Structure 1
C-alpha cells in the first residue's frame, strides 16, 4: 500500500481549516503542522514532508536552507500571489515545482485601491479623525482641495490580474487610465505609456507589481519627483518597490499630497516610524486582499492544487520554471 502524502501546512492558516480542506482525501494524505512557529520548528518539520503549504506572511521563509532540509518535498504551494518569501531558484534546483495563487485576490485588492483613492481624494480619514476628536471641520474640509475621482488621471504600474482589474474599475468611474508593465498588453483597455511618462501624467499612481530584484526601488526618489505636484500614491504591491523613505520625503516636500499604503519595507511597520504620525497617509496592515471572497478563493485554489498533486494530476500556476507534473520524491 502506498504511504499517504504528508502535507505540511505552515501558519497562519488555522490548523482546523487545513484539516477540513483535505479531509476528502481520506487515507491518501495526512496533514501536519510545525511544532513551533520559528526557524527550528520549520526545519524540523520539513524533513518528512511531501508537500508544503507556505506561510504567506513570510515569517517562515522557504529559502535555500529550507529547500536543503526538505529531501522528500515534491511540491510547494504558496497561499499568496507574491513569491518574494521563497527562494524559487533553490527549489527549482531541487526539481520541486512551486505554485502561487495567482489572481485569487485581484478583485479584492483592486477594490481596496479604488477605495483608498476615494479616501485620499476626499480626505475621508482626516475628516473622520477630526469629528471623532470633537471638531466640526466643515470649512477646513473644503479648504483641503477635495477632488472628484473621475477628474483624476490614473497611472497603474504593473498590469497583472490586480492591475488590470484596477484599471477596469477606475475607467468605469470615468478616469483616464494609463499603465506600464514590462510586457505591453495590446488587449488592455487602458493606454500604455513608458514608465517615466506614466509618472509624469498620473494624478493617482497605483503600484500593483511583484517585488523582484528588478523592481526593488523602481519607484525611488528620482521617479517620484516626476509626478505632478500634489499627486497621490496607492501601493498595493510590495514594500520596497517605492521605498518608505522615498515616499516619506515626497510627502514632506509636497510632491505627494497623500499616500495609501498597504505594504511596507518592514512589516509590521515599526511603532516609531514617521509614516504612522502623518495625517496625509492612509495606513493598512497588508490586508488589501483580505475580503471574505478573496479568502474563499485562496482556500479553494490551495485545496484544488494540493489535491491535484496527491491524485497525480497536473498542478496550476507553477512559477519557478519546473514542470507542472508533481513527481513524488
Structure 2
C-alpha cells in the first residue's frame, strides 16, 4: 500500500479543520499545519510536504527559499484567485504545478465592485457620516455631485472571471461597458479597447487584473491622467496595480472624484496612511470576496483539487502552464 500523501496546510484553518476538509481521503493523506504560524514554522514543515495549500493571508509566503526547502513538493493549491504570495517562477522551474480557485468568488467580488460604484455615485458613505454626526447634509450631498449609475461609462481592466461578471452586472444596469485585457475575449459582453483608449472613456474604472510582473504599476500617473475629469476608481485587483501615491495624487488633482479600495500596496495600510482620512475614498479590508457563499466555493475547489491530485486525476485551474497531472517525487 502506498504511503499517505503529506499535505501541508499553510492557511490559518487549524489542524482539525484542515484534516476535516480532506476527511474523504481517509488514510490516503496525512494532513498537517506548521507547529508555529511564522516563517520558521513553515520552513521546518516544508521538507516533507508533497502538497501545499497556500496561505490566503500572505503571511506565510512561499518564496524561492521555501521552494528550495520543499524537496518533495509536487503540487501547490492556493485557496484564492491571487497567487502573489507564491514565487510562481521558482515553482515552475522546480516542475511544481500551481492552481488557484479561479471563479470561486467572482460573483462576490463583482457584486462588491457594483455596490462600491453605487456608493461612490450617490455619496452614500459621506451622507451616512453626516447624518450620524447629527447633521442633515441634503444640499451639501447634492453639491458634492451625485450620479445615476446607468449614465456612466464603465471600463474594466482585466477580463477574467471577475471582470467578466462585473461587465455583465454593469451592463444589466444599462451602463456602456468596455474592457481591456492582455488578450481579446471574443465572447465578451463588452467592447474591447486598448488600455489608453479605455481610460479616456471610463467614468468608472474597475481594476480586476491579477498582479504580475507585467501589471505591477500598470496604472501610473500618466495613465490616470488619461481618465475623464471626476472619474471614479474601483480597485478589486491588488494594490500594486496602481500605487497608493498615484491614487492620492489623482484625487488631489481632481482627476478622480472618488475611489473605492478593497486592496492596498501594504495590508493593512499604516494607521496614519493619508487614504484613511480622505472623505472621497471608500475603504474596505480586502473583503470584496468574503461572502459565505464564496468561502464555500473556495473550500470546495481546494478540497476537490487536492482529492483529484491524490487520486491521480487532473487538477483544474493550473496557472503556471505545467501538466495538471500531479506526480509524486
* Structure 1 partner of 2:208: 208
Q: Which moved more, 1:5-14 or 1:298-307?
A: 5-14
Quote the Cα distance in structure 1 between the aligned partners of 2:164 and 2:250.
27
* Structure 2 partner of 1:57: 57
Matched ranges for 1:143-292 at <5 A:
143-292=143-292
Residue aligned with 2:58, SS: coil
1:38-97: CA deviation from partner (whole Å, max 9, x where unpaired): 110110011111110000121111111111111111111011111111111211221111
CA contact (8 A) 1:11 1:37 kept: no
Residue aligned with 2:213, SS: coil
CA apart distance, 1:15: 3.5
Quote the Cα distance in structure 2 between the aligned partners of 1:230 and 1:210.
26
CA contact (8 A) 1:10 1:34 kept: yes
Residue aligned with 1:205, SS: strand
CA contact (8 A) 2:159 2:179 kept: yes
Matched ranges for 1:126-145 at <5 A:
126-145=126-145
Quote the Cα distance in structure 2 between the aligned partners of 1:9 and 1:75.
12
Is residue 72 of structure 2 the alignment partner of residue 72 of structure 1?
Answer: yes
* Structure 2 partner of 1:86: 86
Quote the Cα distance in structure 2 between the aligned partners of 1:15 and 1:140.
53
Matched ranges for 1:3-82 at <5 A:
3-82=3-82
Quote the Cα distance in structure 1 between the aligned partners of 2:6 and 2:201.
52
TM-score, normalization: structure 2?
0.98
Quote the Cα distance in structure 1 between the aligned partners of 2:49 and 2:305.
16
Residue aligned with 1:47, SS: helix
Gaps of 5+ in 1: none
Residue aligned with 2:309, SS: helix
* Structure 2 partner of 1:293: 293
CA apart distance, 1:13: 3.0
Residue aligned with 2:240, SS: coil
Quote the Cα distance in structure 2 between the aligned partners of 1:314 and 1:269.
39
Query: What is the Cα-based RMSD across aligned positions, in Å?
Result: 0.9
1:121-165: CA deviation from partner (whole Å, max 9, x where unpaired): 000001111111111111111111110000000000110100000
Q: Which moved more, 1:116-125 or 1:9-18?
A: 9-18
* Structure 2 partner of 1:308: 308
Quote the Cα distance in structure 2 between the aligned partners of 1:271 and 1:48.
39
CA apart distance, 1:16: 3.4
CA contact (8 A) 2:227 2:255 kept: yes
Quote the Cα distance in structure 2 between the aligned partners of 1:216 and 1:326.
30
Quote the Cα distance in structure 2 between the aligned partners of 1:228 and 1:17.
49
Residue aligned with 2:71, SS: coil
* Structure 2 partner of 1:123: 123
Residue aligned with 1:211, SS: coil
CA contact (8 A) 1:112 1:288 kept: yes
Quote the Cα distance in structure 2 between the aligned partners of 1:92 and 1:171.
38
CA contact (8 A) 1:53 1:77 kept: yes
